[in-house]
Structure 1
Amino acid sequence: MHSASQESLKPEVPVRAAASSTGAKPKKTAAMESLEDITYGSVAGVVGKYIEYPFDTVKVRLQSQPDHLPLRYKGPFDCFRQSIRADGFLGLYRGISAPLVGAAIETSSLFFFERIGREAVYASGFSSPDQPLPLPALWWTGAFSGAFTSFLLTPIELVKCKIQVPETEAGVVKAPLRPIPVIKDIFRHQGLLGFWHGQLGTLIREAGGCAAWFGCKETASKLLRDWNERHAETPAELEAMRSEGLPLWQQAVAGASAGMSYNFLFFPADTVKSRMQTTPIGDSAQKRTFGAETKALWKQAGIKGFYRGCGITVLRSAPSSAFIFMVFDGLKKYFPMQ
C-alpha cells in the first residue's frame, strides 16, 4: 500500500554525481523511507478510522450474535437504530482509543512491510530496480505486508471487539468496558498468548485482503493512467499527465476500489475471527479453534452467517480507503522528508 501511482515505485537513479550536476534530489535513505511510511501511514490510518469506526462497530455486533439465541439485530439499519437508542450516537465510537492506536500501527506497518516486500522482489532478481514492479508482484507484496501486520493487529482487534460488543447479564446490558481492564482480564485468564486469540482469522484476512488492497489499487491506477494517456490531445498534455500523476478524484476511485475488494473477498474469515474474539473471557467457547467456530456458524446460519454485516463493511470501506491513500500519497508528495 505504498504510493498511489506506479511512478512512485520507480527508484531514483543512485548516482550522486549526476544528481548534484542536474540539481535533482538525491535518493532517500532506507531510514528516511521507513520514517515516512510510519509517520504518514499513522496519520492516514487515524483519519480512516474516524470515518469507518461507527460502521465497524455495527459490523462487529452483527457478526458476533450468539449461535444459541434468536438474532438480536435484523440487519445493519436495525443495529444502528438499537445502538443509538441505547447509547446515543457517540456509543458507536465506544472503545475507539485502542482502534486509533491499532489503525496507526496497522496502516504504517502495511506501508512499511509493503516497501520491504518490494525490496525483496528486487533483490531476488525477479524485476529490475530501474523498472516499476509488474502488477502480479504488487499483489504479492500486499500479501507479504498483510501477513506480517496481522501479528501486530490481532491483540489490538481482540481488545477492540470485546469493547464494541456490550456484555449482558440476565438480559441487562453491563457498563461499557475499558481498554486497560480488558487487557488485564485477558492476561489474567489466558496469559500472553491469549492476546493472539483469533490470529488465524486475522492472518487469512490480512494476507489475502492486503494482496487485493494493494493489487486492486495499483491495477485501478494503471487502468486510469492508460485511459488518461489515450485521451491526451497533445504531447504537452500527455507529459503533464505523466509528471503530475492521477487527479484527486481518480485517486479516490482507485483507493475506494481497493478497500471494497479487501473487505469483500475475505469477509468470512473476519466473521469467524470476530466471533472468537467477542466471547466472554473465561467462557468455554473461548477455547474454540478457528475450525470449530467455522463449523458452529455454518451449522447455525449456513453461508449467510459468514456475510452478516458484509454490505455495511464494504460500503464504509470505500470512503475510508480512499481517504487513507489520498492522505498518505498527499503527505508523501507535498511534505517529503529529506
Structure 2
Amino acid sequence: MATSTDYVTQSAASQSQATHSAGEKRKAGMEAIEDIVYGSAAGVIGKYIEYPFDTVKVRLQSQPDHLPLRYHGPLDCFRQSIRADGFLGLYRGISAPLVGAAAETSSLFFFERLGRETVYASGLYARDTVLPLPALWFTGAFSGTFTSFVLTPIELVKCKIQVPAPSTGGIRQQPPGVLSVIKDVYKHDGFRGFWHGQMGTFLREAGGCAAWFGSKETTTKLFYVLNERGIKTQAEKDVLRTESLPLWQQAIAGASAGMSYNFLFFPADTIKSRMQTTAVGGTAVKKTFMQEGRALWHQHGLRGMYRGCGITVLRSAPSSAFIFMVYDGLKKYFPL
C-alpha cells in the first residue's frame, strides 16, 4: 500500500521531470534561434566577400551554345564586366542574394541541427555521445535537401539579374531589377516557375552540404588529433577537445568545406544556372535538367560542365572560412 511519503516522492519526481523537459525545450528553442540569427549574419558577411566572383561564375556558365564564347576565362570576364559596368556592376542584384544568403546559411545550420536530432531519435547513438563522421556527412545531406527548396526561387531571381543585359540595335538595355524579374516570372510561369532548376539546386545542395559540413568536421577532428600529439594524459586530451581550435585552423577547416562543396557538384550548379538564365515568356523553350545537361555535354563536354569552377572554388575558400568563424564565434561569445 502506498504511503503519503510515496505520493510526495512521486510528485516531486514528476515535477523534476517536467522541469527538466521544459528546460530541454527552452534550450532547443534558443539553439534554433541562434541558428537563424547567427547563421543569417554569417551568410550576409560571406556573400559580400564572394558576390563579385559569383557574378563572374554565372556569366561564364550561362554563355549560349550556338554562339562564340563571349568570355575566354574568369579574368577576361572580370575585365569586360568592369569595363562595361564598373566594379560596382559586379554587385548588381546583390539585394536578393543577401536575403538568399541569410536564408540559406540560417537554413543550413537549422536543418543540420534537425538532422542531428533525427539521428539521435533513431536510437543509433546516445544523445551524450559525439556523432561519428559518417553521421555528420548524413546530417549535412539532410540539411541541404530541405535548404534547396528555400534557395531555388532566390537563386533564380539572382541569376536572371546577373547575366549581361541584351543589346538592341547597338543600344544596351537597362538590366532588370528584382521586382521586375519577380513580376515577369510570375506573369509567364506562375508560382511554380520560381522553382525552375530545382533538380540542380537539390543535387548541388544535398551532395554539396554533405561535403560542406562533413569536410569541416573531418578537418576539425584531424586538427584535434594533431594538436593532441605530445599530450600523454587522457584528462589533458579531454580538456583540449573542449577548447576552440586556433583561428588559423578554424579558417582552414572552413575553407576546406567551401572548396569541397563547390568542386564536387559543380556540374549540377552549371546546369541549374543555364536553366535559370533562360529568357521568360515569348518563344523561349524551357529545358528539363536532363535536356539542358545533354545539350551542354554534346556542345562542350566535361569542360563545359566545369566552366567557371576555378574561380568559384577560389572565392569559396575565404567565404566559407568566414561563415564558420563568424557563426561559431557568435555562438561561443554571445549565447542566447
The normalised TM-score by structure 2 is: 0.90
Report the equivalent of 1:127. Answer: 125
Q: Which residue of 2 aligns with 1:246?
A: 245
Query: 1:264, 1:121 → 2: CA distance?
Result: 27
Q: Determine which of 102, 109, 112 is the counterpart of 1:111.
A: 109
What is the aligned partner in structure 1 of residue 255 from structure 2? 256
Q: How does 1:3-14 map to 2 (within 5 A)?
A: none
Deviation of the 1:128 alpha carbon: 1.1
Q: CA deviation at 1:262?
A: 0.2
- Structure 2 CA distance, aligned partners of 1:120 and 1:26? 16
Amino acid paired to 1:104: A
CA distance in 2, matches of 1:26, 1:280: 50
1:126 Cα deviation from its structure 2 partner: 1.4
Segments ≥4 residues shifted beyond 4 Å: 25-28, 233-240, 283-286
- Between the aligned partners of 2:301 and 2:171, the Cα distance in structure 1 is 29
In 2, the alpha carbon distance for the partners of 1:150 and 1:284 equals: 29
Q: CA deviation at 1:240?
A: 4.9
Q: Which residue of structure 1 lines up, in the alignment, with residue 63 of structure 2?
A: 65
Who wins on radius of gyration, i.e. which is larger?
Answer: 2
For 2:24 and 2:186, locate their aligned partners in 1 and report how far apart those are by CA, in whole Å. Answer: 48
Alignment-mate amino acid for residue 57 of structure 1: T
Tell me by how many angstroms 1:199 deviates.
Answer: 0.3
Q: 1:158 to 1:335 in 2, by over 3 A?
A: same
Q: Aligned partners of 1:237, 1:61: CA distance in 2, in Å?
A: 52
Q: Corresponding residue for 1:142?
A: 140
Q: Specify every segment of 5 or more residues in structure 1 that has no aligned partner in the other structure, as ranges.
A: 1-14, 19-24
Unmatched 5+ residue regions in structure 2?
Answer: 1-12, 17-22
For each residue in 1:224-279, what CA deviation from the matched residue of structure 2 results, as whole angstroms up to 9, or x when unmatched? 00000114478786455323221111010000000000000000000000000011
Cα distance, 1:286–1:105 mapped onto 2, change above 3 Å: farther
2:330 corresponds to 1:334: no
Match of 1:199 in 2: 198
**Which residue type is aligned with residue 167 of structure 1?**
A
CA deviation profile, 1:98-134 (whole Å, cap 9, x unmatched) = 0000000000000000000000000001111110111
Aligned residues between the structures:
316
Find the counterpart in structure 1 of residue 39 from structure 2. Answer: 41
Aligned residue among 80, 84, 87 for 2:85: 87
Structure 2 Cα separation of the partners of residues 68 and 116 of structure 1: 45
Contact kept, 8 Å, 2:253 with 2:321, in 1: the verdict is yes
Q: 1:174 offset after TM fit, Å?
A: 1.6
Identity of aligned residues (%): 73
In structure 1, how many angstroms separate the alpha carbons of the residues matched to 2:217 and 2:277? 35
Are the aligned partners of 1:58 and 1:76 in contact in 2 as well (CA < 8 Å)?
yes
CA root-mean-square deviation: 2.0
Instruction: Give the corresponding residue for 1:4.
Output: none
Contact in 2 for aligned 1:166/1:174 (Cα 8 Å): no
Does the Cα contact within 8 Å between 1:166 and 1:173 map onto a contact in 2? Answer: no
Query: Secondary structure at 1:279's aligned position in 2?
Result: coil
The code of the aligned residue for 1:248 comes to L
Q: 1:293-329, CA deviations, whole angstroms, 9 ceiling, x for partnerless residues?
A: 0111111111100000000000000000000000000
Partner SS state of residue 29, structure 1 = helix
